[in-house]
């Protein structure tokens, strides 16, 4: 399959024009090849994930996180240099769908809302009008109503079927039951005030900073940056396999760089 067809399939799910102004989604590393039959999908374009994808025969790689937000010369023998070496040696392109994927409330970023059966959904921080045929605008974070009130701990136990919660933490009030919840993949604690204005009683995200936790007015779970997005990209992989039936599309799993403290 032609590389431009692969990129077109990715951008139908993650519209590149909708990415945040500070982001650099899109082609990260170009290649001379123009075709590919094996596509690897991963969360981070780390040396380990890129090497694993290449070992499985990937001829194109799609990651969530960009290789760098601000490109720089590869003048140090670090992870950035190693990823470039691996990709350029293998002549394999790298494409990142970062905030371009996050803002699509009808795409894989909706997986939490889908699994919890949220209704009455709203985008917490809208950034653009709804695309053609879409019910919700583009933007960051989703809020919606559970079928019945549940305790935050019970909601997290349900999410534990899909994500690792060993490093999860809670802050803010501790309600006995909540009906309207919100979430944002990755670093979403900046949406806390907007989530509260959307009526959210329980907010789920990653990377909650100390002062955000100190000031939290609603119950908030920090489940780790890795967990929600790893599952999101696993589902992105399945969507791409459906969109590209003549390709072999496979997911490259990864581990969070954060781990629980052990005795």
Supply the pLDDT for residue 235.
Answer: 98
Is-same-fold flag (3-100+229-251; 102-225)? Answer: yes
103 three-state secondary structure: coil
64 annotated to a ligand binding site: yes
Percent of the chain with pLDDT over 90: 93
225 annotated to a ligand binding site: yes
177 three-state secondary structure: coil
Q: How do residues 202-237 score in pLDDT, each as one tens digit?
A: 999 998 999 999 999 999 999 999 999 999 999 999
65 annotated to a ligand binding site: yes
**pTM, 2 dp:** 0.95
Half-sphere exposure of 122 (CA within 13 A, CB side): 13
Q: How confident is the model at residue 263 (pLDDT cuts 50, 70, 90)?
A: low
Strand 38-42 vs strand 94-96: parallel, antiparallel, or unpaired?
unpaired
Q: How do residues 37-47 score in pLDDT, each as one tens digit?
A: 999 999 999 99
Cα angle 19, 39, 80; round to 5 = 65
Average pLDDT of the residues in 27-44: 98
81 annotated to a ligand binding site: no
Q: How confident is the model at residue 257 (pLDDT cuts 50, 70, 90)?
A: very high
- Record the tokens describing residue 29, joined without a space: 């590393």
Q: Where are the domains of the chain?
A: 3-100+229-251, 102-225
Pick among 3.40.190.10, 3.40.1390.30, 3.10.20.600, 3.40.1190.20: CATH of 3-100+229-251:
3.40.1390.30
Q: How do residues 126-168 score in pLDDT, each as one tens digit?
A: 999 998 888 999 999 999 999 999 999 999 999 999 999 999 9
194 annotated to a ligand binding site: no
Pick among 3.40.50.300, 3.40.1390.30, 3.30.1050.10, 1.10.287.130: CATH of 102-225:
3.40.1390.30
């Amino acid at each position: 399959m032609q590389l431009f067809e692969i990129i077109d399939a990715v951008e139908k799910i993650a519209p590149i024009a909708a990415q945040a102004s500070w982001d650099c989604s899109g082609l990260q590393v170009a290649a001379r090849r123009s075709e590919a039959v094996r596509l690897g999908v991963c969360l981070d374009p780390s040396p380990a994930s890129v090497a694993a994808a290449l070992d499985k025969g990937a001829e194109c790689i799609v990651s969530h996180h960009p290789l760098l937000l601000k490109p720089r010369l590869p003048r140090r023998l670090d992870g950035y240099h190693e990823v470039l070496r691996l990709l350029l040696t293998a002549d394999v392109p790298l494409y990142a769908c970062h905030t371009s994927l996050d803002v699509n409330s009808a795409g894989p970023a909706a997986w939490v809302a889908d699994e919890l059966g949220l209704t009455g959904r709203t985008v917490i921080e809208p950034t653009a009008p709804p695309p053609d045929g879409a019910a919700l605008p583009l933007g960051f974070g989703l809020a919606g109503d559970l079928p019945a009130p549940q305790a935050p701990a019970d909601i997290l136990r349900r999410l534990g079927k899909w994500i690792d919660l060993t490093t999860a933490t809670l802050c803010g009030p501790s309600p006995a039951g909540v009906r309207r919840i919100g979430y944002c993949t990755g670093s979403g604690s900046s949406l806390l005030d907007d989530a509260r204005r959307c009526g959210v009683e329980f907010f789920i995200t990653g990377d909650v900073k100390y002062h955000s936790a100190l000031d939290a007015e609603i119950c908030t779970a920090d489940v780790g940056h890795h967990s929600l997005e790893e599952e999101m990209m696993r589902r992105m992989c399945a969507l791409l396999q459906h969109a590209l039936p003549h390709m072999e599309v496979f997911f490259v799993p990864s581990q969070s760089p954060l781990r629980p403290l052990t005795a």
